């Protein structure tokens, strides 16, 4: 008989400003970064780190994260912007990377066309900084979320194929933002087979339905499944000049979560050993509430 998957349920960030300010999750006595992480890790067994998208992580922070969380707690790390062909704020680049820029680019606000040498160095620095989490057994998924302009073309397939070599030993999950990767049945099959053949995990999402949004479905391309729940706030999804918390502001009902949990039901038949449910509906305590409910539902299914 196949073993039941281990379910890890948590939120995208434990420090979202609207959550910290809401005063409905953290006790008033919990005020420092250390205390917030310790308190969060008492409630959940995993979290997704969002700050590493905006700036390369420091090894010191990874060491502190490992020290401040109990055994068995798992961090899923968003890769740095340059690693997924997003622009990066030059002011937030490490001195070593800024020094590699041509003089006429160092005063720019963003780096949009980095050299291969800079991208390679970003990969090396990122992976080196993860050493404390790797050594502590607390590094879960490295989450690669590609921009909408990352489309199915040979150069992008080649880029995806290069990731395991650049991050040796990493569990890498791929989230596409352009629906052509998976909307057509033939293309979806091709994409999933490609990910399987390269040892990459597909990031499944739950999001509003629209022709411009990647459709919602759970797919296993290996022995781990990574699902990000973005909420179904279709109206806010397309608004401009709003915060991420407002865009993903959505409180799932218990009925919705029960239905979504059923989609995890056949994972053991597919050889899945670990399944992540990450709630990105990060408005005040919405993600916290939904992660708590989903965790209880999944535990109940396993009894």
Strands 201-206 and 274-279, bridge-based pairing: unpaired
What is d(CA 172, CA 217) in angstroms, rounded to the nearest whole number?
19
User: Tell me, what's the pLDDT at 2?
Assistant: 60
The series of mean pLDDT values per 10 residues for the chain, 303 residues long, is 85 94 92 96 97 96 98 98 97 95 92 96 98 98 98 98 98 98 96 98 96 95 97 92 91 96 87 96 95 94 72
Q: What pLDDT does 288 receive?
A: 97
Residue 255 buriedness (CB in 10 A; 0-12 / 13-18 / 19+)? exposed
Cβ atoms of 112 and 81 within 8 Å: the answer is no
- Supply the pLDDT for residue 268: 85
d(CA 211, CA 183): 9
Q: Report helix, strand or coil for 56.
A: coil
Q: How many Å apart are CA 277 and CA 279, to the nearest integer? A: 7
- Which strand (E) or helix (H) includes residue 221? none
**Strand residue runs (E) in 37-122:** 46-49, 74-78, 88-89, 110-111
Q: What is the pLDDT of residue 1?
A: 55
Closest alpha carbon to 126 in 103, 138, 143, 102: 143
CB 204 within 8 A of CB 225: yes
Contacts of 42 (CB under 8 A, 6+ apart): 70
Give the residues across from 228 on adjacent strands. 205, 278
59: exposed, middle or buried (C-beta count within 10 Å: 0-12, 13-18, 19+)?
Answer: middle
pLDDT number for residue 4: 84
């Amino acid at each position: 008989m196949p073993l039941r998957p281990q379910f890890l349920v948590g939120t995208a960030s434990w420090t979202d400003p609207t959550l910290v300010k809401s005063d409905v999750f953290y006790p008033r006595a919990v005020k420092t970064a250390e205390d917030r992480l310790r308190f969060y890790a008492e409630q959940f067994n995993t979290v997704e780190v969002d700050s590493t998208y905006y700036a390369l992580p420091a090894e010191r922070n990874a060491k502190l994260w490992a020290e401040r969380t109990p055994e068995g707690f798992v961090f899923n790390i968003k890769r740095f912007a340059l690693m997924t062909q997003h622009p990066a704020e030059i002011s937030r680049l490490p001195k070593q990377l800024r020094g590699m820029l041509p003089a006429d680019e160092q005063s720019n606000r963003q780096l949009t066309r980095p050299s291969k040498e800079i991208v390679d160095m970003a990969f090396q620095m990122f992976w080196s900084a993860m050493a404390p989490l790797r050594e502590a057994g607390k590094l879960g998924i490295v989450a690669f979320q590609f921009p909408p302009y990352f489309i199915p073309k040979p150069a992008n397939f080649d880029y995806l194929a290069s990731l395991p070599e650049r991050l040796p030993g990493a569990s890498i999950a791929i989230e596409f933002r352009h629906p052509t990767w998976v909307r057509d049945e033939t293309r979806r099959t091709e994409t999933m087979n490609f990910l399987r053949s390269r040892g990459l995990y597909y990031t499944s999402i739950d999001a509003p339905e629209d022709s411009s949004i990647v459709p919602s479905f759970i797919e296993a391309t290996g022995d781990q499944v990574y699902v990000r729940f973005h909420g179904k706030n279709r109206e806010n999804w397309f608004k401009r000049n709003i915060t991420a918390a407002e865009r993903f502001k959505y409180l799932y009902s218990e009925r919705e979560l029960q239905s979504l949990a059923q989609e995890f039901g056949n994972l053991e038949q597919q050889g899945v050993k670990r399944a992540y449910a990450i709630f990105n509906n990060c408005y005040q305590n919405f993600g916290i509430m939904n992660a708590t409910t989903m965790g209880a539902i999944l535990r109940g299914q396993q009894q």
